Structure 1
Amino acid sequence: MDVIASISTLFLPLLVVLILLYALSKKTDAYGAFTEGGKEGIRLSISLLPFLLGMLVAINILRASGLLDAMNQALSPVLAFLSIPPDLISLLFIRPISGSASLGMLADLTATYGPEHFISRAASIIQGSTDTTLYVLTVYFGAVGIKKMGRALTIGLLADIAGMTIAILITIWYFS
């Protein structure tokens, strides 16, 4: 066990040394390449800021307006028929928009019901089985200037719906 711990502690320093040795063998300016990469990272971060701000504002408007609560009430009879607890509805709508908001909802559900409850387990599996489709499309497509994202949006949302459906079915099958 001590050998594995010492290897894992030395992994990053050894990786840096290997990269520097490789750069030296290729006669590449490693420090110059590192600083250029840092400059590019800062430029990319600044270009992503408006997209991130827009997503955060949209999420806060959805939560503060009560739209999620209205959707919960409107869809609860249908989802009850499908054996989907109403407490998961907000998570199902927020997950494609924001990872941090859905993670906060998962934490709230786990704190409310406990980690062994069906809702907490289903929410955890949904969190791991789906992606933040709208966030990814907005930020990454916006950063590279792609304007037409209709098909990517359709496929991404269909994949999220499939992931959510299968997550609930797995939770029912495995934990019931």
Structure 2
Amino acid sequence: MDTLQQLSSELEHEYQTTKKFFELYPSGKASYAPHQKSMKLDHLVGHIAEIFAWPSFILPTDTLDFATGDYKPTQITSREQLLEVLDKNYKASKDTLAAAAEADLEPSWSIASNGHKLAEWSKYGAIRHSLSQITHHRAQLGVYYRLNDIALPASYGPSADDQHFG
């Protein structure tokens, strides 16, 4: 079984689906949030776009420490910028996966804060987790869109807004 090819194929599918959602990103709604505990729309889409870079970050590193690293969330200001960030991050991860060997998926990788491990996986597990995060947050984005009367594109089959549905 070629795990790297499977991860790459899944990343590509998630990219194609996410790109359809991002092409609908509404101007003038950046600060929209459906609840006070929810992320603002611009932060949510920026986070989703960033996740596409995770495989390119995970494979050559051992950990990400949010408190001691230089990570700063991407600030999204337009649909065009959002699509550029998505494309750049997707390409970086596709290239990283293409250059990797199966054995590169075996070492441990973790996220931490000030040296305290918050979660740890194999690098394969961390990449799988990132793919799940894309799906999770894109589903949140679908709720934001639905609440703003933005028709949802198909994800894993037709949506209720798909003209071919039913």
TM-score grouping bracket, smaller chain normalisation: under 0.3
Larger radius of gyration: 1
What TM-score do you get using the length of structure 2 for normalisation? 0.27
Q: Which has the higher helix share?
A: 1
* TM-score w.r.t. length of structure 1: 0.26
Q: Which has the higher contact order (CA 8 A, sep 6+)?
A: 2
